[in-house]
Structure 1
């Protein structure tokens, strides 16, 4: 289903008797990212540390819990979009899924099955088996190539620190060439300062991928999304990726991050110790700020924090309504809110 936006433009400075109405029609597409908080199946994988998320594990992760989680995540995804018809996003970056099988269950849930989503996924070297993935509506996006890029890190003792890949997908979005990068950067375990070099390394890998695409096509439209475990104002984004928050400052090849203005207003996608962070972000090359009417450009960004995704009582009142809290099954959705951007273009 196409999302169509009608905007009336009026020449307000003319005398009232001379005003003529002109209607412009726009097509709106939705790009979303969601960290779904440990979407694991119930099967014990001997090659990963997934024991907690099994029926006999610490979390007592049963088939009932798993099916409830699938249904709830599917509902959330089905409701992210411009119009009120619950068309769902046209492409979705996903973090914290265990394998392709959980994605298959997700897109076949009644909330999503009629959306005709395709899946792009690689198993990452993460020790817990946590991966990123990409979902796309087959009638809107046609993938031409995809590749996972390993982020090679070592701890202070020289041992390999296995973490999530970065996933690059290139293809045609409504016949317009576009590239997507899905990220889940290293956590802040051990403290923000101590773990910062790992996220800066992730930013350098992201920049390397972006620069390689721009070298081939200086006008490449590249959208990067993910749980970065850093805020838009942190060094990984401002010093390494050199993201801009002012549209007027964006030049050819530079990166615009609409989330920076949100975080400066105190908005966030997750909460910890009564502080909000905006770790979940979507940013993109300046080509998506163009004024060309016949191609897609950025319109607006947002955090999908509907009332049912928020905990309304207890110690964590106001936080995202998560699956587990305090080591106990809470029956919520995720410890993160999804984020999204709208792309828009004028149509006949």
Structure 2
């Protein structure tokens, strides 16, 4: 058993259960926020595009507007309460997250966060915002992708976070941003396949040490639900009649619309994947295919003048500032929790 696994089991054994009513809802959200950069230079990263006086015209004013827009999206997804967990892709550093959770309209939500510090040359990482009242942090792990095997540039680490939820169960969350399609889909596919294998190995390791595993994988896969990296290598297909607790199921497989639009065609790059324990409807945490959705708030969309219909209202069109939210739409999932009565 690895040191990380021992830490997880040790913390889980000593934590006391939360007090709550008979049933609660855990809301999970994932959002690729499209290049959340500050305006400071990191000498170890290629972040020159997002410095004042660079070609993009990035500025502190635009940075703060970006934070406010991200906060608006998260708050719009709230309903009666803010999402308990929010996975974020394309965040530069902790300074940006501090700005989001402490100095934007999200400040009253009292989020805490964990994030990776990857070798990605552009300096973008993944993060998880969490509500400490509904997700008690146990441990975190940053999973490095062995990029040298394929002679590729380093990519983002996978973030693995374990926490105790209101039912008293341990929930394992993986946030990932798979390698891009830069250079072409076929040329870059082996890198995503390698990342998917690494992710599947990590997921299997966690499911082996949990008596009742509850595992969520979310992020921008730069591939579609039917792509080899998702459907075959990771092994996450659409839920069917036969559900197994140790299998993975993609709740975005078969959803209408998409989270990203390319040349007039919508596709789902942002995935919400669970192990079967959630879908067996026997345990303390349950959900279904219908509880996952793409968030299509009107303010996130604009008219596609070239191809017709709507497209994401993004921050940049190429190098030109456009003033929108992101080139991706967020995804959301509600999970029911059966809690011990205090």
Q: Same fold (TM over 0.5)?
A: yes
CA distance in 2, matches of 1:222, 1:314: 41
Q: 1:218 to 1:248 in 2, by over 3 A?
A: farther
- Answer yes or no: is 1:111 the counterpart of 2:94: no
Matched pairs, number? 317
Offset of 1:219 from its aligned partner? 2.7
Partner residue in 1 for 2:294:
303
After the TM superposition, which residues 155-174 of structure 1 pair with which residues of structure 2 at under 5 Å, given as runs? 158=151, 160-174=152-166
2:56 to 59, 68, 83: 59
CA contact (8 A) 2:244 2:280 kept: no
Q: Which moved more, 1:215-224 or 1:243-252?
A: 243-252
Higher relative contact order (CA 8 A, sep 6+): 2
Offset of 1:286 from its aligned partner? 0.5
2:193 to 177, 200, 207: 200
1:36 to 33, 38, 41: 33
1:287 to 270, 277, 283: 277
Partner residue in 1 for 2:327:
335
- Answer yes or no: is 1:46 the counterpart of 2:43: yes
Offset of 1:179 from its aligned partner? 0.2
CA contact (8 A) 1:218 1:253 kept: no
Q: 1:298 to 1:109 in 2, by over 3 A?
A: farther
Q: TM-score, normalised by structure 1?
A: 0.86
CA contact (8 A) 1:91 1:134 kept: yes
Partner residue in 1 for 2:9:
none
Offset of 1:218 from its aligned partner? 5.2
Structure 1 residues 214-247: Cα deviation after superposition (integer angstroms, max 9, x where no partner): 1212531010000000001110111112213133
Structure 1 residues 59-79: Cα deviation after superposition (integer angstroms, max 9, x where no partner): 110111101000000110111
2:311 to 303, 316, 319: 319
Q: Which is higher, the Rg of structure 1 or of structure 2?
A: 1
2:209 to 216, 221, 226: 216
CA distance in 2, matches of 1:109, 1:340: 24
Offset of 1:132 from its aligned partner? 0.4
- Answer yes or no: is 1:236 the counterpart of 2:199: no
CA contact (8 A) 1:244 1:250 kept: no
Q: Aligned to 2:287, what secondary structure does the other structure show?
A: strand
Partner residue in 2 for 1:7:
none
Q: Aligned to 1:201, what secondary structure does the other structure show?
A: helix
Q: Give 4+ residue runs of structure 1 displaced > 3 Å after superposition.
A: 313-317, 345-348
Offset of 1:133 from its aligned partner? 0.6
Structure 1 residue runs without a partner (length 5+): 5-24
Partner residue in 2 for 1:93:
87
Aligned CA RMSD, in angstroms, stands at 2.0
